[in-house]
A and B are shown apart, each in its own frame.
Chain A
Amino acid sequence: MEEGAPMKWWRFSRFVTLQVALGLILSALLPAAAPAQEEVTSAIRRYKEREASTGYYEEHEVKPRRDRPFVGVPGVMRKLFPYSPKAAQVRSRTHLADSHRGIQFYAMRRCDECHVEEGKHGHTVRGNITCRQCHGGEPIASINHYFSPLNPIRRHSYVCSKCHEGASVSFATFMVHEPKAGDPETRKTFPLLYYANWFMLLLLVGVFAFFIPHSVIWVVREFIHKPEEKPHAEGKPQDEPRE
């Protein structure tokens, strides 16, 4: 053979075969494309995974609720305690298994350090019971959490009946932590209480504002009256006018 002559074809094909084989093996090891990862897929499954509701709604997506959830921002103080990033993850505090989740420095605090007004109602002050006797031990579940003993659907039997034998669901609608009747907010949350308070207040003020000056002025006026001023009964002849 002469030098510089083209490679023999059978030598060339061996090289190509080797390359093609290597390429096929390598391509088998590549990650598969996404649609190929599902074992089974359908429109329904895709809908359920991507479009159906998670059950969680943002605040702007729902009507305002009575127990409005309060959502904090990390680093922001809310009343007495700071919100941690974990707490800020919570979108609604009324449905938690642990209603005090994420609140910083929660341990070693007393209930009434934060819940000041709630400690002043009749059950505590006169009934001599503690918060935990109704609200249970830690973790204290949110009131609307499905399994909370204070959930309104079972409050009467799990909590109220412990002392008030025979309590019914209606009985449990009594507000132990009554809002202040004079608060403007009570007008929305407990209107009958608000208006009853106003009615009684106006009644008292009206009655006293009239009758107390009336009586006091009368007492004073009678001291300075002369007997002739008061009309005597006519008819019989009078005796000497009495002083």
Chain B
Amino acid sequence: MSRESRIRRFSVVDRIFHLFVMVTFMLQATTGVGRLLYTTQWGKGMVGLFGGYESATAIHSWVGIIMLIGFLVHIGYVLSKVDWKKFPHSLFNEDSLIPNLTDLKQMGQKIRWFFGLGPHPKVDRWGYWEKFDYWAVFWGMPLFAVTGLMLMYPVGASSWVPGWTLNVALLLHRAEAILAIGYLFIVHFLVGHFRRETFPMNEAIFAGSVVLEKEKEEKPAWIERLELEGKLAERAAPPPAPWFRVVYFIFGYSVVILGLYLLLILFVYRGQIEWH
């Protein structure tokens, strides 16, 4: 372990934001799926865990508000980190999460690599799938926020928009929830946990650091760029403490198991899902 040199990939703030999203999303998912499937026995049980239908609704509403506040804090944080003097370069560079044409090219290369028709693309700091992950959540949040607030305060909302938009809001909220749950618990988990390179867990998002040699395979263009700019040394990071690894292994896997369980439930009761 001590032979492997590590570099920092995620800052402490990044990791706190991810943890925040994990916790709030899982709370929303469990209360939400419980309420969605309330007509089933399972749903009643799950809702009962939260203290009944009204209680589950209240938790869902208030955790949603907390999520919204977290989202606004995140936007504020991101905007404060942008070097506006060097705009637009500070926003449209290889370290940025903003997609560009290289991502499209790399997607094509990767698909060719799937079928043995070419080499794996030399990925820089963020793979296109990671960018998609970020922006998918980023776009989902305002959708959830607006529809969620409308559904929380229907009387108030109907003084701004016609009441029949509440029907549409309910449909959008539920459909987006199913999309988010499906995407995270299938795609995000596959990529982060069940690949040969990331099995049993991609520890980077908890530990904050990655093993340099492994990162040379995962994100070669990034490491090359860091070496060229001479920034590798300043990114050196210690390995995570063993107790911390235990903690986040248990935490991470509990969330994975919970997520897969919810997926299974959604599949089993797919006939009872009415999203409108």
* Interface residue ranges, A against B (CB under 8 Å): 120, 125-126, 164-168, 170-175, 178, 180-181, 190, 192-193, 196-197, 200-201, 203-204, 207-208, 211-212, 214-219, 221-223, 225, 227, 229-236, 239, 242
Contacts and interface: CB of A to CB of B under 8 A. Distances in A.
A216 B194 CA distance: 10
Contacts of A165: 155
Contacts of A171: 154-155, 158, 163
B164 interface: yes
A175 B167 contact: yes
B119 A231 contact: yes
22 contacts: A167-B155, A167-B158, A168-B159, A170-B158, A170-B159, A170-B162, A173-B162, A173-B163, A174-B154, A174-B158, A180-B276, A192-B165, A193-B276, A196-B171, A204-B178, A207-B136, A208-B186, A211-B187, A223-B196, A227-B217, A233-B227, A242-B217
A69 to B, nearest CB: 23
A232 B197 contact: no
Interface in B122-168: 122, 129, 132, 136, 154-155, 158-159, 161-168
A242 B190 contact: no
Interface in B203-223: 213-214, 216-217, 220-221, 223
Contacts of B165: 192
Identify whether the interface residues of B are mostly helix, strand, loop, or mixed. Answer: helix
A243 B119 CA distance: 18
Contacts, number: 140
A126 B221 CA distance: 54
Interface of B: 38-39, 53, 110-111, 113-114, 119-120, 122, 129, 132, 136, 154-155, 158-159, 161-168, 171-172, 175-176, 178-179, 182-183, 186-187, 190-191, 194-197, 213-214, 216-217, 220-221, 223-224, 227-228, 274-276
A222 B190 CA distance: 12
A166 B155 contact: yes
Contacts of A178: 167, 276
B167 A190 contact: yes
Contacts of B110: 218
B220 A233 contact: yes
A225 B217 CA distance: 12
A164 B155 contact: yes
B39 A125 contact: yes
Contacts of A229: 113, 119-120
A227 B213 CA distance: 12
A219 B194 contact: yes
Contacts of B166: 174
A197 B122 CA distance: 39
**CB-based closest 9 A-B pairs:** A200-B175, A171-B158, A173-B163, A174-B163, A233-B216, A215-B190, A233-B220, A233-B223, A170-B158
